[in-house]
């Protein structure tokens, strides 16, 4: 906490003209991407504060909440293009709903992975994980196509919004095209 607050003090001291940024993103696009700490959308997409909306969740998946955010981004804040960006070496490829719910039923502590998952079995678990779709996946390219298609086919998404699908290569820093626009 102290590190975060100290960094914020330094950031706020030089905030300057950022106080005047407009509410709508100046470059009129949104990115849906993964929460993985190795991804920095500002860097890989050349963004500055105020340029674009960046929506992040585990896997960069087109969950109901991610689609809600994209719809708000367009309807109320004028974005005109959307990017779905998944990435190589994604942790969401290492489990499925059954593994997640089984581990959570055993323990709420952090599980360990050494090629397979291990848990502490400390009896603090809960069966509530059975009711969550964790949106894990095995095929990276397929997951991008599924998410772009799900967003495109949503009844609240206008057909004229281009939706692009990419994979970010965490070893090379490059975006690899999967879906040009549908």
Question: Got the DSSP string for 122-144?
Answer: -S---GGGGG------S-HHHHH
Task: List the structure tokens of 130.
Answer: 């059975």
Give tens-digit pLDDT for 33-88: 999 999 999 999 999 999 999 999 999 999 999 999 999 999 999 999 999 999 99
Whole-number pLDDT of residue 182: 66
Residues 129 and 147 occupy one common structural domain:
no
d(CA 175, CA 165): 10
pLDDT digits (tens, 9 = 90+) for 130-181: 999 999 999 999 999 999 999 999 999 999 999 999 999 999 999 999 988 7
- Domain membership of residue 1 (yes or no) is no
> Are 178 and 105 in the same domain?
no
Please tell me the predicted confidence (pLDDT) of residue 180: 86
How many separate domains does the chain show? 2
pLDDT of 111 > 80? The answer is: yes
Same domain for 30 and 118?
no
d(CA 1, CA 3): 5
Residues 65 and 38 in one domain: yes
Same domain, 144 and 69: yes
Domain with 127 in it: 96-133
Q: What is the mean pLDDT of residues 80-105?
A: 97
Q: Quick one: 56 and 29 in the same domain?
A: yes
């Amino acid at each position: 906490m102290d590190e975060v607050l100290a960094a914020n003090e330094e950031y706020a001291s030089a905030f300057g003209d950022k106080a005047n940024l407009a509410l709508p993103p100046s470059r009129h696009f949104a990115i849906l991407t993964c929460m993985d700490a190795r991804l920095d959308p500002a860097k890989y997409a050349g963004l500055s504060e105020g340029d674009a909306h960046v929506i992040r969740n585990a896997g960069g998946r087109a969950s109901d909440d991610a689609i809600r955010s994209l719809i708000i981004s367009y309807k109320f804040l004028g974005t005109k293009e959307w990017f779905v960006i998944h990435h190589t070496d994604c942790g969401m490829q290492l489990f499925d709903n059954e593994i997640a719910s089984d581990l959570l039923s055993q323990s709420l502590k952090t599980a360990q992975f050494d090629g397979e998952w291990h848990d502490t079995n400390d009896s603090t678990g809960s069966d509530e994980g059975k009711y969550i779709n964790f949106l894990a996946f095995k095929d990276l390219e397929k997951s991008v196509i599924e998410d772009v298609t799900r967003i495109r086919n949503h009844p609240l998404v206008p057909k004229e919004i281009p939706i692009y699908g990419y994979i970010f290569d965490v070893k090379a820093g490059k975006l690899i095209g999967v879906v040009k626009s549908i």
